[in-house]
């Protein structure tokens, strides 16, 4: 729906999608998949290989079946208005565009192929301590708790005022603010000498 609501054509919209956006889209889609849906896919895909025992151990109960039937009855499909909006938003899409989308990352190298010598070298030689020291230097310092609390407060105000925010998002920010505030308070409490020793008082 974000593509349709955008004023850009499909190619321009896809160029602005980041990996982070794709991960959020994936997480949203995955949250819609139920365990019973996955089980049904295995039964449908494997057919007789699953056997009748799987049907007897079905995770579907009557309520699941009624809910699925109701969703099918309620779904009207895409109407002409939806199709026109999509066509206007996406612009002309050719078969070449589709082939490009399907093969755009075929040439990307996802992993390195190591030679036998490289494999032996990684197993026999100890790791360089210089690399570890450089990694430690590159780590960004943790911000002060007061700054963290202020940033979360700003984020919470934005989420509460945003029309597109969900109650779950507001709760996530509130929980983060509560936790950060608690940690900030505990870091300000003056320690007693006995706090540094592990013994029980009698």
- State whether residue 127 is helix, strand or coil: coil
Contacts (Cβ under 8 Å, ≥6 apart) of 130: none
Q: How many CA within 13 A on the CB side of residue 195?
A: 4
Looking at residue 8, what is its pLDDT?
Answer: 75
Distance between CA atoms of residues 133 and 141, nearest Å: 15
Looking at residue 54, what is its pLDDT?
Answer: 47
What pTM was computed for the model? 0.30
Low-confidence ranges of the chain (pLDDT < 50): 1, 54-55, 201-202
């Amino acid at each position: 729906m974000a593509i349709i609501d955008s004023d850009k054509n499909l190619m321009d919209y896809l160029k602005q999608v980041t990996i982070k956006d794709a991960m959020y889209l994936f997480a949203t889609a995955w949250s819609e998949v139920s365990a019973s849906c996955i089980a049904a896919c295995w039964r449908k895909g494997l057919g007789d290989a699953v056997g009748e025992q799987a049907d007897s151990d079905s995770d579907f109960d009557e309520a699941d079946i009624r809910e699925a039937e109701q969703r099918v009855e309620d779904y009207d499909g895409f109407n002409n208005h939806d199709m026109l909006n999509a066509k206007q938003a996406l612009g002309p899409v050719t078969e070449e565009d589709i082939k490009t989308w399907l093969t755009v990352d075929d040439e990307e190298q996802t992993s390195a192929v190591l030679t036998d010598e490289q494999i032996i070298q990684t197993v026999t030689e100890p790791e360089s301590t210089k690399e570890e020291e450089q990694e430690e230097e590159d780590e960004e310092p943790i911000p002060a708790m007061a700054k963290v609390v202020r940033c979360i407060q700003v984020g919470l105000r934005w989420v509460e005022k945003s029309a597109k925010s969900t109650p779950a998002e507001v709760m996530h920010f509130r929980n983060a603010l509560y936790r950060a505030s608690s940690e900030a308070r505990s870091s300000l409490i003056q320690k007693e000498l006995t706090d540094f020793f592990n013994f029980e008082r009698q």
